[in-house]
Amino acid sequence: MIVALISAAVAGEPAYYHPDDVAGQSAVFRDVANQVAPAFDSAQSTIMTMGQHLESLDTGVALLGSQAPDTTLTWRDDSRKQIMGQFLQIQRHLNLLQDDYARVFDEALTRALPQFSDTHTVVECASGGMQAMLNRRGEACEGTELNSALATAIDIDEQLQSELEEIHSIPWPTVGIDPTPQEVVALTGSENWVSASQIAQHWISDRLDQHMDNYVENIEPLEEAIDSGDEASIRLAEEHQQAYLAAVGAEGQRLWSLITEALNRSNSGPATNVGICANPEGMGACPGEDVTNQIIQLLEDNRKFNRALTKD
């Protein structure tokens, strides 16, 4: 923050301001907020959506276990790195914007303050509530409040306008992944497919949640040691992760086996040529026709399948 103290030797009426209050009353900086917020919200929303897609992909891959194609594993790993990199780029861009806005605002405020030096002795005073009545030394802020007048001076600062235009010309980082269809893992075929995560969510979500709860319970006590780089804790965490993935994979293999048996007994068209797609629709899904809803309905009506699924 700028500390602007007009020399005490200059006679003048006492006056005070606070940079935060000046910025809050500046139309220019309100416009800045109105421009930045939508761009950031849009980027953040896209990142969150892609994060949800990655979660679905992770679930699908885990449910396939050893059947997961190598190309799909590579796709998952590359996508995770890409989204994480984009998140860091967005955060870095926002940080740079904040630094730049703070710099040009402070410089504009520095240029505006001398306009009042002939008639006022100006001090910077604290902002907000009771603190607005006190300056940094804990004494009462005396004289005329200049926040509004300084905001007006900043709003007509041509140099500030030019600097803001230059800042706004810098594009935001690109966010998103090009959808890429992934291989179908065959059950009764591969012409049609069902979403692995949707099928699992429909029938075994409680079991998957329990595996995740167990995993989190095992990992949480290790987090501090992991952050400090403790190798033994890192190895133990990896073991817990592998155990979690093995448990989910076992759930998947049991589910796919029961579904295959049920589909082989069915005369329904889609059931005769259906496989599993681990890739969510938002990331390109898989080649062929999505018959997830049809298969769910078909299996819902299959008593033998549902009885077998409820057995431990």
Q: Tens digits of per-residue pLDDT, 240-282?
A: 999 999 999 999 999 999 999 999 988 767 778 999 999 999 9
Residue 127 tokens read as 């902002």
The three-class DSSP label of residue 216 is helix
Eight-state DSSP code of residue 32: H
Neighbours of 263 (CB within 10 A): 23
Neighbours of 134 (CB within 10 A): 14
CB of 69 closer than 8 Å to CB of 287: no
User: Which residue segments constitute the domains of the chain, with CATH numbers given?
Assistant: 13-168 (no CATH), 185-306 (3.30.910)
The three-class DSSP label of residue 186 is strand
What pTM was computed for the model?
0.78
Q: What is the pLDDT of residue 206?
A: 94
Q: What is the pLDDT of residue 119?
A: 86
Closest by CA to 184, choosing from 278, 44, 301, is 278
Kindly report, residue by residue over 32-41, the tens digit of the pLDDT: 888 888 988 9
Q: What is the pLDDT of residue 139?
A: 52
Query: What parts of the chain have a pLDDT lower than 70?
Result: 1-11, 126-140, 268, 312
How many CA atoms within 13 Å lie on the side-chain side of 41? 6
Q: What is the pLDDT of residue 3?
A: 38
Task: State how far the Cα of 122 lies from the Cα of 85, in Å rounded to an integer.
Answer: 46
Task: State how far the Cα of 59 lies from the Cα of 53, in Å rounded to an integer.
Answer: 10
Checking DSSP bridges between strand 192-195 and strand 289-290, what pairing results, if any? parallel
CB of 60 closer than 8 Å to CB of 197: yes
